[in-house]
Amino acid sequence: MFGSGKMGSKQAWPEVTVASPEQKESATGVIEIVPEAGPAEEARGRIYAFLGALFSHPDTGKWGRVLNADEQRLAIATADALRTRACGMKYPVLADELPASELDLRFLVVELCQPLEHLKAEYERVLCVRKPRPGCSPFALDHQKEITGFLLAEALANLAGVYRAFGFAQGNKLPLRTDHIAYELEFMSWLISQRRLASRMALVDRQTAELATRCDLAQRRFFGDHLAGWAGPLSAGLQRYTSGGYFEPLGRFLAAWIPLERHFLNAEPPCEEIHESRQAVPVGS
């Protein structure tokens, strides 16, 4: 179900400082966060869950995470901690991607300060139209050429099988289009949470240790096979063609998130050609 993934070291990702939900305004209006220690794995899972909720339809009931003030503050603080750590790293950033300096959720949260009906209308205008603007389709397979008919059905069935193999579909009724960006992001969050749980139980149960390793490998392969190849073009489309609103800063954040995750997971770039001005430079410098 997955392509080959390259196992790599996570030595470049030591413990990060993740901020608590407590937040205060300074005299200049800059948001200051009270820090609290937390692992990088937890931070990554939180960001994936937040992004997955944002890309889900507001009627699915997942927007509580998006609109809750404490959840917003925690997401901002988590992104800040990851950005601070990532800006000292060197990793390739492709043409449709952005450096770690763009890992800031403040502008996005500001755009979410709208009535829910307005946000819902914006979501449907961008992602629910019959013919999305170039690069704005929320479905992964729409970004691949000549994937129709039987090939499309087979690819969707295979993806559903991956979800079920890791227990992701047990509490979720899968949609017809299992390649939606929200489901792929939520699945990454699920894999991270399952790995963290299994790692804690591994001291007393050998099988859970094996599950932790399996989830770890699955993150790399699913990211490399599904997210890495099309999330970049999607983020670029959201920035270019959505005419403002919350999708533009969402696209910018996603464009900076993908190369950082590729570095963390030690995944291969989707193509060999890297934008000349962004190849292996200190990100955020």
Question: How far lies 2's CA from each of 6, 86, 186, 217, in Å?
Answer: 12, 28, 18, 10
Residue 128 belongs to some domain of the structure: yes
Compute the distance between CA of residue 78 and CA of residue 48 in angstroms, rounded to an integer: 11
State which residues form the domain around 126: 16-278
Residue 148 belongs to some domain of the structure: yes
Contact assessment for residue 22 and residue 34, using Cβ atoms and an 8 Å cutoff: yes
Residue 6 belongs to some domain of the structure: no
Residue 41 belongs to some domain of the structure: yes
Residue 4 belongs to some domain of the structure: no
- The reported pLDDT for the residue numbered 278 is 38
Question: Residue 158 is part of a domain; what is its CATH number?
Answer: 1.10.3480.10
Residue of 122, 145, 157 whose CA lies nearest to 242: 122
Residue 10 belongs to some domain of the structure: no
Q: Which residues of 9-30 are buried (b: 16+ CB within 10 A; e: fewer)?
A: eeebbeebbbbebebeeeeeee
Residue 52 belongs to some domain of the structure: yes
Compute the distance between CA of residue 224 and CA of residue 267 in angstroms, rounded to an integer: 6
- The reported pLDDT for the residue numbered 79 is 97
Amino acid symbol at 73: R
How many structural domains does the chain have?
1
| 6: three-class secondary structure by DSSP | coil
Residue 38 belongs to some domain of the structure: yes
- The reported pLDDT for the residue numbered 272 is 42
Supply 136's token pair: 């704005």
Q: Which DSSP state fits 208?
A: H
> Which ranges of the chain have pLDDT less than 70?
1-38, 170-172, 270-285
What's the helix, strand, coil split of the chain in %, to 5? 55, 10, 35
